[in-house]
Structure 1
């Protein structure tokens, strides 16, 4: 609903303007009235109306003078002048002041309604433009923060030695500013570099006192967490790898904490951790604070209850490196490696996690132990099955285990990876192509050999091998060269079509991957000793 005010030095005219139209029915609320221009300025500043109807002739300050003074103060509104006469001497001045329209007294209700509806439509359009612009601006700013936080997390994880992180209140050296390097591309790539990334952040922060938060759960994904915080008093919100990150103005901190407490009370059977980071008012403070707070991101790693913690209140150096449990890991892995049965390996993972909790091991050390376990599995599979095991765990970035915020989620992810590995081993043992390097290659060739541009390089890229190495492995495993294998497949399909369809030789040549009928016929005769037409007539 828009706000409207009236300025006229005759009270009966003000009364008439208030009552002549049902303003609320037409989308307006009368927010103020004034008896002269000076009072009109005062009421305007108190109420900030969207539309002003103002009489031209008033004793102390006329309507145009009032509009001019308001515009000098950068007060924006739709102005309509009201007069008893066609005072064209005022027209030029009114136009220069951007007056929307004018009404003649006595005011016609029909004319007023038509004007008000037109103004309402224009205001609606203007508001929509502003809303769209505001939305796009907010999306852009949100993206800047999301990109920066992802780069900071990656940069901090790459350092690995948490003791090397700058203290939150220490001056930040240039080398730590470069932790935004994930935002910086190679020279001439057209992507923003480190300095540009920091400048982008400053342009979004604009000197405001802001505070960042990270909320995570052992059972819910970032998308679910986004939904939970969408109505909180926050400025920016985006998903992290294993959490939802959001930023609010510092003055809204209490409101955020109250919203978290309400969330806890409504979901008592679930676990949520709210990490409260330090405030910042520029890019340098954000980077310094993030690196310092990163030391404490595992503070609630083993926590079993919902809680909130302030990074500034966590003691430095809590937790210790992972303490090795002193047993060989190969034995519990044998059923997984030889039979594709993951249960023993999963039980080992649970035992290691429980042991780490009892010993107070640092989360990073436990994550390293889990990564080492996966490397052991991969190495043993490669020794046993050689290239057939190439695809197992191939597409998993195991270092992402360091991004998981809770022991429960780390264990859950490990169980998922071990079960996937077990399925892959079983399918490989049973010679199911999807999990065999050559089986997958053969399947891909069957699906794409009819494409005239089909090549060895395309298949090699699909199975993540270099072209030369792929050709070598293919010949060793299949027994013939890749090109001969593809040609055999094309010729066999062509023979089938020649016998079972009435397609022309040209159409068949196209259907099996040859752009030239002459080239196809020559290859066919080399292979079978007769032409395609002669074969068809047999």
Structure 2
């Protein structure tokens, strides 16, 4: 129900309009009356009505002053003024202020009821327009989200539809990055250098960032300063200049999220921080990705479950013998590549007697083939875990020494992994297992410790930033505050 108030210094007018008009018949509740401007303004603040009926002439503060203050505070309020025949100048001013209608005195019941009907029609018309606009806006947002989902799923072929729905800014886009979230959140805010669109596909929560310029410190600052209280895990894919590569960034984002959650990383994990294996295709199925994940994380029970799921899938597809053999061998050789990530020269995998493609031809029943398949995968997993235990401590110790000697330059996960002779993805997992924290956190913490020593000596913040491996002052400053609790300049001044 709409709320209305009446302001007039004539008591008889107020009483008459209150008593003689059936306000509820029009869906209106008369919530109060006032006889002067000061009371009127107080009543308006208390009741926040939708409609104001007011006389122009009132003691203390006239109706025009009241209307001006009301429309400044709540411009959506509908105001109707009462005026005498000789008050045309006042009426003109009232119209300029934005009143919806004016009624000449004496105010009769029919005049008042006609005015109320016009107001109701106007309100209904405004609601109708607002509803249409809202539906149109919802439809436009829905179409844009659908176009973006198509872009990250299909790539190149979805670009024309994306351009059509993205609007004029599409021509300014120079890159795209996909972020996968552990739960729905809109922590990233739009900026002049990028636009963020939130989309959802089933249970997957995504933020897709369209860059208007590739170098963007503001985006990085938002990511590194995500409050711990949000309790959200984020995985980011790489930034690609070609929109057709959005699907690569999407797949990478979920890999980063998955590994980040496994390593108990709250906040942000980049795909660059977990690495990739160029020997393994980027176009793997979700099931194949899950098998790889179980092997890399040393989860034997998880591997058994994933193998069971894989067998059910291929059993349901009713493959012929040749296709069945090919699908099983694909997984076995995929498992071998994952095992070699620990150490390329795993002797048992390179043994001339390990010939799964020969052995599988000697098996002539599906049940035996499935059992053999499980045995092969479990054997590869055992070899991988054995090699992992043999090299883990030495590789991580060697890596830590290398980090301490080179922390002051742009030190990537790939470079450290190559130095210890290990695949970057496996190295990042082993590092976490051995050190209790991820490689990037270890490197950052070591850099912050060195920065504190230099700041305690009174060195300039910009110089310290460069000396500990950060070439962007703002980047260093945000990270320092996150790790230490205060800005680097404040920390230095405290000494």
> Which bracket does the TM-score occupy, shorter chain normalised?
0.3 to 0.5
Larger Rg: 1
Give the number of the structure with larger relative contact order, counting CA–CA contacts within 8 Å between residues 6 or more apart.
Answer: 2
TM-score in terms of structure 2 length: 0.38
TM-score in terms of structure 1 length: 0.36
